[in-house]
């Protein structure tokens, strides 16, 4: 892939890529962490190097290394950020999260505000329950702390990633609760998921839910009561 990219460049650009492959590989090693394949990181860094070589213009500006390092590290940071999960959901749910996030960005620009779940549902041709699932998947992602310090003069010098080890992270409890809740919700119907979404994600009253679904408020109350009682019993056990 790298060879295909660089072969189309003019000789000076190709020469830059070949000359600084070691720099890209060294930067990739600094981002080594559990859950990320080192070869994937190396490829991401090399693609960042190709981009830097394609965009670099001398014009009396900084040298190529000073220009390339932020470009390569930016690619690595985005890769680590986008591939870091507290709990990795199924691939289909990851794709759904990306689709909903892309829709959210486009509609936010179009409307000048954050779009509602119903608007995301209509624009994406998906159900509001799927929008809610995508939001839950986003909540399973965590940021990975990365040292943003300036690179040293020696590109081969290892950079240490930031790490904080100490008191128990409250996020662990949240992850466990989400895992238990996921099991409790395993056999809920789409109708029940819609009730949960309208009540607890949209914050609608029982009367508003009843009007939305075309049922009586008493039916909504009974259904929610039975559903929540069932979930409580399952989570307690």
Domain boundaries, the chain: 1-84, 85-143, 171-237
Report d(CA 30, CA 144) in Å as an integer: 13
Class of domain 171-237: mainly alpha
Q: What is the pLDDT of residue 87?
A: 61
- Give the right CATH number for 85-143 from 1.10.1060.10, 2.40.10.120, 3.40.50.2300, 1.10.10.10: 1.10.10.10
Q: Which among 201, 178, 180, 226 has a CA at the least distance from the CA of 129?
A: 201
Q: Is the pTM of this model over 0.85?
A: no
- Give the right CATH number for 1-84 from 1.10.357.10, 3.40.50.720, 1.10.1740.10, 3.40.50.1580: 1.10.1740.10
More confident residue, 34 or 50: 50
Count of alpha carbons within 13 angstroms of residue 220, beta-carbon side: 19
Does position 159 have pLDDT exceeding 80, yes or no?
no
User: Does 1-84 match 85-143 in CATH topology?
Assistant: no
2 — pLDDT class (breaks 50, 70, 90): very low
Report pLDDT digits (tens) over 78-135. 887 766 665 666 778 778 888 888 888 888 888 888 888 889 999 989 998 888 888 8
Centre a 10 Å sphere on the Cβ of residue 26 and count the other Cβ atoms it contains. 19
């Amino acid at each position: 892939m790298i060879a295909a990219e660089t072969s189309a460049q003019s000789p000076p650009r190709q020469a830059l890529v070949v000359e600084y492959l070691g720099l890209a590989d060294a930067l990739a090693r600094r981002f080594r962490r559990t859950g990320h394949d080192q070869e994937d990181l190396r490829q991401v860094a090399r693609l960042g190097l190709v981009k830097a070589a394609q965009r670099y213009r001398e014009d009396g500006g900084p040298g190529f290394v000073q220009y390339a390092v932020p470009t390569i590290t930016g690619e690595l940071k985005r890769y680590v950020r986008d591939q870091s999960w507290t709990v990795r959901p199924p691939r289909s749910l990851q794709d759904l999260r990306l689709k909903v996030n892309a829709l959210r960005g486009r509609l936010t620009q179009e409307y000048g505000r954050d779009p509602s779940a119903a608007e995301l549902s209509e624009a994406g041709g998906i159900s509001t329950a799927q929008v809610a699932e995508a939001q839950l998947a986003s909540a399973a992602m965590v940021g990975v702390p990365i040292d943003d310090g300036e690179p040293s003069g020696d590109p081969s010098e290892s950079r240490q990633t930031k790490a904080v080890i100490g008191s128990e992270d409250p996020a662990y409890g949240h992850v466990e609760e989400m895992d238990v809740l996921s099991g409790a919700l395993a056999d809920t119907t789409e109708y029940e998921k819609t009730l949960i979404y309208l009540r607890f994600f949209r914050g609608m009253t029982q009367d508003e839910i009843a009007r939305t679904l075309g049922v009586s408020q008493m039916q909504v109350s009974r259904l929610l009561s039975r559903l929540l009682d069932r979930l409580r019993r399952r989570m307690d056990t």
